[in-house]
């Protein structure tokens, strides 16, 4: 490990990239329970779960994909019975997208397994380490939101 005064952004980026690859590899086994789904489809399920209900337009915007791509994505998830369409009571022209009751249970089970796995990894940290990691991640998250908002208005 480089000395504390010599750790560069490049070293941090390399460490984050390596950690990201390990996480992806480790979680592949958890996500194998969803072998019928692509990563984008899984991200869509999480998006819908977090929103409770959402529209095709909101999904396309959040995933940064075209509306026709979002339509194809949602069509497949409806056919696989992960998602359902429901009529919007306030506007007949709008269709809301929601998780099916069975997909909610399956998704919850997978996310619990993921949480347990990550928790077992974090167990090696001391309480002080956890505070430092949390503080750093919070700062980086804030910076990413600032950069995201700035680039959207540029």
Looking at residue 6, the DSSP 8-state letter turns out to be G
Residue 44 near residue 77, CB atoms below 8 Å:
yes
Residue 47 near residue 54, CB atoms below 8 Å:
yes
* pLDDT of 151 strictly over 60: no
What are the φ and ψ backbone dihedral angles of 55, each rounded to 5 degrees? -110, 165
Mean pLDDT confidence for 7-15: 89
The enclosing H or E element of 25 equals helix 9-31
pLDDT of residue 3: 57
Mean pLDDT confidence for 121-147: 89
* 139 CB-side CA count, 13 A: 6
**E-only strand ranges, 15-135:** 54-55, 83-87, 95-99
Q: Is the pTM of this model over 0.75?
A: no
Instruction: Indicate the pLDDT class of residue 2, thresholds 50, 70 and 90.
Output: low
- For the domain bounded by 4-123, which CATH number is listed? 1.10.10.10
pLDDT of residue 59: 94
As a whole number of angstroms, the distance between CA 121 and CA 13 comes to 20
pLDDT of residue 128: 96
Measure Cα distances from 150 to 13, 58, 146 in Å: 22, 21, 6
pLDDT of residue 111: 84
As a whole number of angstroms, the distance between CA 118 and CA 100 comes to 27
Residue 88 near residue 95, CB atoms below 8 Å:
yes
Average pLDDT of the chain is 85
Percent of the chain with pLDDT over 90: 40
pLDDT of residue 77: 94
Instruction: Indicate the pLDDT class of residue 1, thresholds 50, 70 and 90.
Output: low
Lowest mean pLDDT among 54-68, 89-103, 136-150: 136-150
* 137 CB-side CA count, 13 A: 7
Instruction: Indicate the pLDDT class of residue 87, thresholds 50, 70 and 90.
Output: confident
Mean pLDDT confidence for 121-141: 92
């Amino acid at each position: 490990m480089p000395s504390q005064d010599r750790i560069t952004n490049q070293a941090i980026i390399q460490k984050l990239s390596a950690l990201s690859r390990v996480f992806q590899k480790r979680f592949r086994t958890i996500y194998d329970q969803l072998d019928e789904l692509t990563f984008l489809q899984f991200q869509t399920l999480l998006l819908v779960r977090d929103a409770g209900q959402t529209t095709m337009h909101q999904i396309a915007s959040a995933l940064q994909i075209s509306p026709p791509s979002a339509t194809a994505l949602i069509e497949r998830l409806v056919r696989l019975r992960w998602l359902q369409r429901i009529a919007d009571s306030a506007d007949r022209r709008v269709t809301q997208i929601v998780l099916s009751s069975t997909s909610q249970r399956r998704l919850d089970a997978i996310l619990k397994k993921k949480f347990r796995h990550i928790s077992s990894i974090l167990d090696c940290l001391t309480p002080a380490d956890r505070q430092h990691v949390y503080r750093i991640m919070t700062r980086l998250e804030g910076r990413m939101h600032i950069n995201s908002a700035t680039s959207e208005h540029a």
